[in-house]
Chains A and B, each alone.
Chain A
């Protein structure tokens, strides 16, 4: 931890989060209640409270650890942490911010590949048609993640239960949707 505590106040992630998203990481006093209640914290490389501390140090090295962590991608936004946080910090909002930033910088955790593939396939699906086309999503996800065999056994039973459809629903406001995607994803968001 020799160089870890160099302070970069201006332009630090903590400052940006406060300015852009009203996120108050500086309030965290490391009680750990978020980590204690988090359903996935034991699978995380840094539990939520540690992520908060990494960001609090305002050191580039520690911010990098937070951005490259698996934590943000394992966070399921269940909001348990935020509900119980004594300092009323929007911890899932912090996770959202870190995810988005790590994508922009192209430094996402390699272990998150499948999760990101899924999210991207999801967004691609609704970008084209306005609504989710589940079969299309699954097909694209499999291509992106190369998880070809996964859940194949589910397909017949889903079909027999009328849960999968072959033709996507397309909304009339497709142009509107494309423009929304264009305007929002224009900064970063590498494909």
Chain B
């Protein structure tokens, strides 16, 4: 016989202002099966919780309904109180009188009546609640970090320094990411490589970090604490164990004119190459699309000059499985490139370049050893126009958002240019200057006042070439939109920061969500900024949204803490509100007929095949089995099951049915 307790909360005046709480309790007391009903000003307060605990003990309650706020708010509170009184916590339910009733209706009879109805449904449900136990799963204390830019490096080092092994996967031949390409960094103007390369070396030398460069994650199975990652190690055509990184092969390679990705196509590299001298690992790869041997079957010079016989032309891609307990995605960002700005002639004129290209020009290790020179003819530009918001904040081009980093790096570019070309003129067309960061505004002001950067508020409409000059047609919106025409030697576009081209497919591989712009989506924009909706998968850096270096590093450390928190326990517990396929004694075993229609619809790959065997080992029946570690309790399989063999714990078909029926039986 059910003995239900109903506890009606006033929530100060949040509920009681429109709902007659006393009447709700009074009426609830008369519902069949209700043993005890009471109303109280703050049920979540200590005295309120004591009231519940005492009633459970005193009246020997078998179920609890707290009629208060949303379960999102206080369900854990009341479940704990219930457990403290010795009752299974899953025998406690909440009736939402605040968000679903008092806040959305005016004061009156009907509002109170609705509150009573809501309580009635929950009483009907709780009568059919079964005691449930938390699910426990073991934890593999090894993390996978995808991406070896500054965010990935920070996350990997933080996790490894906390004592947990880390597997880092980097798509390119070297780690370092975009930060390795930058010249100096704002707002301090310290050299990017100088602060990054020591961290890269630390990764390479850390005993707990395994680095797979030139590799990609191609699959991820399992669930929080228990993932299996599939990694493709692309063939470098170089045996890593034998290579000493002497650089003989890259020096002798006759194919020297291949456009360098790292130099943003302003420089060249050989066919066997490391992207840059400080590469980590310092092991070259052969670019098979451009290598003479692969193209024509002749050459093999690298093989001849290699003292350790490390060249292996017939090396194949290798696919390995790695067990990990958590994943940090740190795949970074990209920028919009040519063809996106026909009005600026980007892609048509060599001297219209993007911000990353300017970084390479300004970098001491870049193609010009840090001299600012025009890509077209190598002369030093005397007039540069920088165009901010090139593609950002531009719904017509499909990008509504602010790329966040451009204001700062454009100010830095102007500054670097003025430091290198003293008589040069730098004009910056901007819409707003967004310099919200520590010492950022001061930095921009310095560019304007000390380095004489000419800031013009307005957008450029067109750039075209005439007699070797780039004619920039802009406007000064602070002077009645006065037209401005500048004959520039070079134009630098602060092109929009966008998600990495491979982000979408990676998100699908990892089963994590992403936004309309293919940036990875955080679980909560404010309170869970470094976690994804998939438990155990974290985010770090600009793969989530455009971020600068300090922000990327901060997020990476945040993600690392989340991983370490996960690894601080030997077992994980989670709510048992998962799907379950019914089981009976033989010869029925289950009403499941083994059609496995549920399998393809499960978004979490949680449905497995279980075989019932007789003593001789012969399979008598094949049944669906829901892996409770993977199941998120979404209920898709329940809706699809033709034999009605699947239920969700805590939200069974029967419970739902009773709730609905209770509404009609007033």
Contacts and interface: CB of A to CB of B under 8 A. Distances in A.
Interface in B585-613: none
Interface stretch (A3-11, A33-41, A61-69, A175-183): A33-41
Contacts of B480: 46-47, 50
A84 B289 CA distance: 39
Interface in A2-51: 29-38, 41-42, 46-50
29 contacts: A30-B477, A31-B431, A31-B459, A32-B457, A32-B458, A32-B474, A32-B475, A33-B461, A33-B475, A34-B461, A35-B458, A35-B477, A35-B481, A35-B483, A36-B462, A36-B484, A37-B343, A41-B483, A47-B483, A49-B475, A49-B481, A50-B481, A84-B343, A84-B396, A84-B462, A86-B395, A86-B397, A87-B396, A88-B396
Contacts of B473: 36-37
A132 interface: no
A103 interface: no
Given A31-B431, A31-B477, A50-B481, A36 B460 contact: yes
Contacts of B431: 29-31
A36 B396 contact: no
Interface string A75-90: 0000010001111100
B458 A85 contact: no
B374 interface: no
Nearest to A41: B483
Contacts of A46: 480-481
Given A35-B475, A37-B473, A47-B475, A84 B461 contact: yes
A144 to B, nearest CB: 32
Interface of B: 343, 389, 393-397, 431, 457-462, 473-477, 480-484
B588 to A, nearest CB: 64
Nearest to B397: A86
Given A29-B431, A50-B481, A86 B475 contact: no
A49 B458 CA distance: 10
Most chain A CB within 10 A, of B396, B459, B480, B484, is at: B459
Q: Which 5 A-B pairs have the closest CB atoms?
A: A37-B461, A36-B461, A47-B481, A36-B475, A32-B458
A36 B458 contact: yes
Among B394, B462, B475, max chain A CB count under 10 A is at B475
A33 B460 contact: yes
Most B C-beta atoms less than 10 A away, residue of A29, A36, A47: A36
Contacts of B484: 36
B393 A49 contact: no
Contacts of A85: 396
A56 to B, nearest CB: 13
A67 to B, nearest CB: 18
Contacts, number: 77
Contacts of A36: 458-462, 473-475, 481, 483-484
A49 B483 contact: no
Given A31-B431, A37-B461, A46-B480, 12 more contacts: A30-B431, A31-B477, A32-B457, A32-B476, A35-B481, A36-B474, A46-B481, A47-B480, A47-B483, A86-B394, A86-B396, A88-B395
Interface of A: 29-38, 41-42, 46-50, 80, 84-88
A162 to B, nearest CB: 39
Contacts of B462: 36-37, 84
B396 A32 contact: no
Name the residue in B395, B397, B483 with the highest tally of chain A Cβ atoms < 10 Å from its Cβ: B483
B135 to A, nearest CB: 50
Contacts of B394: 86
B277 to A, nearest CB: 41
B538 to A, nearest CB: 34
Contact of B459 (A32, A42, A88): A32
A106 B481 CA distance: 27
Nearest to A34: B461
Given A37-B461, A41-B483, A32 B397 contact: no
A2 B252 CA distance: 75
Nearest to A42: B483
A59 B626 CA distance: 65
A85 B394 CA distance: 8
Contacts of B461: 33-34, 36-38, 80, 84
Contacts of B389: 31
Contacts of A48: 481
Contacts of A32: 457-459, 474-477, 481
A37 B462 CA distance: 7
B173 to A, nearest CB: 38
